[in-house]
Amino acid sequence: MGKRFDPGAQVGVVIVGAGPAGLVLGNLLLDRGVDCVILERRGRAAVEGRARAGFLAAHSVRVLTEHGLGAGVSARGRAHGTCLFRSERGEFTLDYGRLGRGEVHTVHPQQELVRDLIAEYLRRGGELRFEAEVEEIAEGRVRVRGGEDVTGRYVAGCDGHRGVARAALTARGVRTARRDHGVSWLAVLAAAPPSMAAVGYALHERGFAGHMARTESVTRYYLQCPRGTDPADWSEERIWAELATRMRTADFGPLREGDVIEKAVVDLRSDVLQTPGAGRLWLAGDAAGLISPSAAKGANLAVLQAERLALALERALAGDEDGLAGYAAECLPRVWRAHEFSHWMSGLLHGPAGDDAEARYGRALQYARLDSLRTSRTHQDFFAENYTGI
């Protein structure tokens, strides 16, 4: 789709993956006059319809707006600056938009952002090949199953943490730091209006529950569940009953229910590559590092990395490769800071199960963290700065 390059011709950058990282990167490169092609293994309908994250940080909105990619966010996004915590000790709302740096999130479903980015990339004359499954990446040459190879002076891997690009980089000896948080969520997308004005975090002895608005008629819910849970075991009735229990609707009022559109189990894991690239292959988004969803950082890190990688690749194509080393040096500290906060959030939201002495101790620490967040302005400012920042 869009501009077609001659088979065998070398382009400036071959981008593998049409998620937020790849699409933002492609648009920014085109904006700088760099020819590129995006290869995506899935079909267009699957890419544009996949419901994922929905919270954009102020930095992400700035990047999109400055580069002519923010029309949809401006038209349909909703500013959001509060989160609510519930537990057996009651509830409190944190107005984080008035704390820290005074930044808020913009709620904008990722699939809508992806649709906008695809349309703008094609409008700008970029080439995007759907159903182009990459089999191998070697020295700028990208082999596509059943199609011709595509060669670029550089390859940008934006195809996720299980993608070919990451495998190609780790095969060179690049090491990974990783953590399994030992927690799983049943992720539920419901055709139901939000039940709270805020993002809702509920702490319960049965496990964590979360409420995240997506649109006026669609809400994302999370339920902590045992590792290995089969989503098919969770009927709609069971989902709504468990949400009601953990969100203590008997104390705070009922949820607005609706049909369950989608349900899947997410295992909370995190990892970071020691470097996001080498030579002619550089990564962004989940390909460079997977972060748990407990603090809504994934898509925002992808936008940050895409912005920085676009600048670095532009310099490299002009003969200055120092920018690529700078890309790693600048991004990795920010990535680790996001991981540290996500790890802290995971500890806040997930208490240990059971009634033995260690479990009781762990849950007491969990509530101590929550009480500090409720009462300490210093803690609240720290939370707000890290919750919204990248």
Q: Taking residues 342-369, report their average pLDDT.
A: 91
Q: Give the class (CATH, top level) of 10-81+101-178+270-344.
A: alpha beta
Is the pLDDT confidence value at 268 over 50?
yes
Backbone angles phi, psi at 38, to 5 degrees: -105, 130
Under 8 Å between Cβ of 308 and 276: no
Q: Taking residues 328-353, report their average pLDDT.
A: 92
Is the pLDDT confidence value at 53 over 90?
no
pLDDT of res. 175? 93
Rounded to an integer, what distance in angstroms lies between the CA atom of residue 106 and that of residue 388? 10
Under 8 Å between Cβ of 368 and 334: no
At 8, the pLDDT band (50, 70, 90 cuts) reads low
At 10, the pLDDT band (50, 70, 90 cuts) reads confident
Buried b (16+ CB within 10 A) or exposed e, 209-229: bbbbbbbeebbbbbbbbeeeb
Beta bridge partner(s), residue 211:
200, 221
Which amino acid would we find at residue 39?
L
Is the pLDDT confidence value at 1 over 60?
no
pLDDT of res. 49? 83
Choice among 192-196, 222-226, 318-322 with the minimum mean pLDDT: 318-322
Q: Taking residues 157-167, report their average pLDDT.
A: 95
Is the pLDDT confidence value at 343 over 80?
yes
pLDDT tens string 230-243: 999 999 999 999 99
pLDDT of res. 9? 67
Alpha-carbon distances of 315 from 36, 47, 243, 283, 320, rounded to whole Å: 15, 30, 51, 16, 5
pLDDT of res. 147? 82
pLDDT of res. 267? 95
Q: Active-site residues: which are they?
A: 80, 201, 293, 297, 387
pLDDT of res. 390? 75
Is the pLDDT confidence value at 189 over 90?
yes
Q: Taking residues 241-251, report their average pLDDT.
A: 97
What's the helix, strand, coil split of the chain in %, to 5?
40, 25, 35
pLDDT mean across residues, the chain: 93
Query: Percent of the chain, pLDDT > 90?
Result: 85
